[in-house]
Structure 1
Amino acid sequence: MGCCVCHCITSLELALGPVIGQRPTSSSAMPHKRNPITTERITGLARVLRGYASAAAENVALWHERDISHSGAERVILPDSLILIDYMQHLAIRIARGMVVHEDRMLSNLDLTCGALFSQRVLLALVDSGLQRDDAYRIVQESAQRAWDTSTPLRDLLGERDLGLDLDAIFDLGAYTHHANEIVDRLNVLQAQG
């Protein structure tokens, strides 16, 4: 959870709007900076949980048969971990509810890849068309790197070659989001259940 939350805030900072926890003075040296206080807290608490996991793993190696050497650690780490996870989930939900998503910025960020994010779909389509995987891989690798180096859309570069691919289907962003409504509906059901 800590890595996921931290990644969302640091890597997608321009695509996501203000998050709960902003202070009037976020950074003494960089006034433009938005310190995501709550996400940083989750990241730090995730370190504590990983430490508890390490202690739990050490409890596995007991002397001969099960003894009570594990008991003291378990009495602390089990309840503390559960309380901590509950708190972290509460914080993550609060962040998600307060997050503003800038779709136009997200699409801009996707466009920066010049279509390279579709390279796996191109590779699979080439293999499905009968091309050997290594040959397909080289075609996609060369095209994707050329797209990146020249800022030419990968789709355009592939369109110049006679590959017999349905580029409309391959470069459809909907392939990555077609289950999104179903997932959100399931989350809404869980939320309604409390």
Structure 2
Amino acid sequence: KLTVYPDQMAANVESLGGVVHSGEVLLALTRAGILREDAYSIVQRNAMATWTKLGKPDAKTFRENLLADPEVAGHVLEEVIDAAMSSRIHHVHIETIFKRVFGDD
């Protein structure tokens, strides 16, 4: 039997300030026309700025740091960043995955 605590899972993900979405953000930046190497630097810089301040009074989320970054603000719409940071992206194939792992029952 698998017991799942969705609220706790969401809280764990949120406690990381959004850094867990860095891969999708990297792809969004490249789709927006930013060179991959530049996109990687942007993501890395903002992820580390988020990570090093987690839990501190002046902490900002990964999203806040990205939107304040001039290299992002000049090239990518806020909606694109929001879409890349949506947890729905990771739920698209969840039923298929569960069927593969647990069977059709």
Q: Secondary structure at the match of 2:13?
A: helix
Q: Which runs of 5+ in 2 are unaligned?
A: 55-59
Q: Which runs of 5+ in 1 are unaligned?
A: 1-96
| Aligned-partner residue type, residue 154 of structure 1 | F
TM-score normalized with structure 2 length: 0.77
| Aligned-partner residue type, residue 172 of structure 1 | S
What are the within-5 Å matches in structure 2 for residues 31-46 of structure 1? none
What RMSD over aligned residues (CA atoms) do the two structures have, in Å? Answer: 1.7
What are the within-5 Å matches in structure 2 for residues 1-194 of structure 1? 97=1, 99-151=2-54, 152-161=60-69, 162=73, 163-165=75-77, 166-185=80-99, 187-189=102-104, 191=105
Q: CA–CA distance in 2 between the matches of 1:168 and 1:135?
A: 20
> After the TM superposition, which parts of structure 1 deviate over 6 Å for at least 4 consecutive aligned residues?
none
Q: CA–CA distance in 1 between the matches of 2:31 and 2:64?
A: 21
TM-score normalized with structure 1 length: 0.44
Q: Secondary structure at the match of 2:52?
A: helix
Q: Secondary structure at the match of 1:158?
A: helix
Q: CA–CA distance in 1 between the matches of 2:81 and 2:42?
A: 15
Q: Secondary structure at the match of 1:164?
A: coil
In the TM superposition, residue 185 of structure 1 has moved relative to its aligned partner by 4.5
> Which fold has the larger relative contact order, with Cα–Cα distance below 8 Å and residues 6 or more apart in sequence?
2
In the TM superposition, residue 169 of structure 1 has moved relative to its aligned partner by 0.9
